[in-house]
Structure 1
Amino acid sequence: MKKTQKTLLVVAALLALGTAQADTLKKIKDTGTITLGVRESSGALSYTLGDGKFVGFHTEMAEHITSDLRKKLGLSTLTIKYQPVTSQNRIPLIENGTVDLECGSTTNNAARQKQVSFAVTTYVEEVRIAVKANSGITGIAQLNGKNVATTTGTTSVQLLRKHEKATGVDFKEVFGKDHADSFLLLESGRADAFVMDGQILAGSIAKSKNPAEYKVVGEVLNVEPIACMLAKDDAPFKAAVDDSIKAMMKSGELAKLYDKWFLQPIAPTNVRVGLPLSEATKMAWANPNDKPAEDYAKK
């Protein structure tokens, strides 16, 4: 009996701890601080300029969300702590409460929804292939016998292998620790192609030493909704984040941010990424939702 009671107390304590960790609005109000998960090399969505400075479409959007949260909580100031995350550690850092809100380049899918929650979709991505312009590679068929780079913790190469046009195509997968490292594999010739989200590829090319030496080619491997990630089952926080994003969609502020980061020259190279707003992203803004990638799959 005593053992059973002890077990129940432990379970109750763990449940209480989980509830406390998920009460993000209270945590932010009590500490006067919010921790944003940011990426160091996720194209124009989120990247670093060095010296602890992080910028990008989703990073600046997260800063707008933070401003709205400050007003909602009645705080005179709200300190932002920027926490760099990777494809490997971003979900654990949300789950353990280290990061309050991650606005980088994370795909909302059914598997991840079992661990975390997602805000409404703010970018709809197409997975593509980047190669050197003189490589002769125009699509999946030319990858036979080649080295294909991908970033550890992502699913892009698995998508490539599953594509109907990949039948009989044999290639070797090489891993970069982050997107910048994966692009370096292509740049240095250790990889013949880099498979990743199209905007990350375009952003990496735009920030490279010689952008004209690279191009994005081939079939669209997948269409994926990208969204900010937050703790699972924290409905008040999710509602506050969603309300802020929806207000930006309605006011046109999100469109202005998109133009700034994807259609205008950006630091540090002062080169344009040059990706017009896609119809799929326009649709996501017109009809805000947090549907997973599986809902975007071709029926």
Structure 2
Amino acid sequence: MNLRCILQAGVFASAAILSQLSSADTLDRIKKSQTVNIAYRESALPFSYLSDSKAPVGYTIDICKKMVDALKKELKLPQLKINFLPVTADNRIEALTSGKADMECGSTSNTADRRKVVDFTIPHFFSTLRMMVKTSSGIKNWTDLKGKKVVFTKGTSTDKFILERDKVRALNMKLVEGKDHSDSFNMLETNQVDAFAQDEALLFGLKAKAKDPSKLTIVGDPLASEAYAIMLPKGDAAFKKFIDAEMARQMTDGEITKLHEKWFTKPIQPNNMNLAWPMGALLKETIRFPSDKVN
């Protein structure tokens, strides 16, 4: 076991202890405080990011706002407020395990390691791991990265898959950590690295924000499929049951389909960009048969 794996295991073990200590009744706490604490990402376009007016917006944000509307009815609290808490890929889990946030509404993938310390509701998106490079770089696939510098965002699951590919192909890649997606993207744009490895959904969003998107391209065979889902406190069965039921309702009532159209097939901030990304087969299947079970 290498040092990275040992450190990661220690982080998840500590988070598991914190999670058990903070697993009070979330619904009761929300009712008493009349506030829902929502952790969000500032640069995970189009899922969760800051608008031109610096307000949290996005596909996942809209889903979570509907969750809060459902809580208002369930708890008979029309005055229920949202407190938005900015988080990064590195500290988003701690926001849940420490009790600072009641849910995390960003672009977090449901993984086995994360399920040890947090719960997830039904997935609202599926993506695959690819990479963004300069169009002029000549890089087309992972084997072209031999000896190259590759950035990934700290706190994501990307490094696991990149390390596996590096070992299998003996590519001798030089891995660099970005503190958040904006930092990783900036490293690529300013030629500090040769490639930015990340879920393709986030890469397309970042590319669309670039000053000249034509100078960037997304390449590489998909390395893994990621199921994005809202993170919840570990072990709070009543809260998870409510959120799961509301997510299933949004799916069966066609609301998720409408939100997907809004954020992935129509102009959005900034600059009225259009990702032109139709709904994938996995999400269509999940909408037909909602389930929180992922591989």
Name the structure 2 match of 1:195: 197
TM-score (norm 1): 0.89
How far is 1:243 from its partner?
A: 1.2
Cα distance, 1:166–1:218 mapped onto 2, change above 3 Å? farther
Select 2:171's aligned residue among 166, 169, 172: 169
AA matched with 2:278: P
What's the counterpart of residue 103 of structure 1? 105
1:47 is aligned to 49
RMSD: 1.8
Give 1:69 deviation, angstroms. 0.8
Equivalent residue, structure 1, for 2:162:
160
User: Structure 2 vs 1, CA of residues 169 and 20 (structure 1 numbering), >3 Å: closer, same or farther?
Assistant: closer
Please say which of residues 216-225 and 158-167 is displaced more in the overlay: 158-167
Which residue of structure 2 lines up, in the alignment, with residue 264 of structure 1?
Answer: 266
Which structure 1 residue ranges, 5 or more long, are not aligned?
1-14
The aligned counterpart of 2:139 is 137
Distance in 1, matches of 2:166 and 2:255, equals 39
The residue number in structure 2 matching 1:219 is 221
TM-score (norm 2): 0.90
The one-letter amino acid of 1:219's match is: D
Q: Is the 8 A contact 1:141 1:165 kept in 2?
A: no
Q: Are 2:121 and 1:119 equivalent residues in the alignment?
A: yes
Instruction: Report the more deviating stretch, 159-168 or 66-75.
Output: 159-168
Aligned counterparts of 1:281 and 1:99: Cα–Cα separation in 2: 26
Report if the CA contact (8 A) 1:44-1:56 is conserved. yes
Task: Please tell me whether the aligned partners of residues 23 and 236 of structure 2 are also in contact (alpha carbons under 8 angstroms).
Answer: no
Q: CA deviation at 1:158?
A: 2.3
Unmatched 5+ stretches in structure 2: 1-16
CA-to-aligned-CA distance 1:181-218 (integer Å, 9 cap, x gap): 10111111111110001110000001111111111111
What is the 5 A alignment of 1:26-105? 26-49=28-51, 52-105=54-107
> Any idea what the Cα deviations from partners look like across 1:199-250, whole Å, max 9, x if unmatched?
1000000111111111111110100111000111111111111111111101
Partners of 1:196 and 1:244 in 2: how far apart?
29
* DSSP-derived class of the 1:273 partner: coil
Kept in 2: contact 1:44–1:261 (CA 8 A) = yes
The residue matched to 1:70 in structure 2 has which SS? helix
Which region of structure 1 is more displaced relative to structure 2, 82-91 or 51-60? 51-60
Corresponding residue of 1:6: none
CA contact (8 A) 1:106 1:228 kept: yes
Query: Can you list the C-alpha shifts for 1:30-70, whole angstroms capped at 9, x where unaligned?
Result: 11100111001112111112654111100111001110111
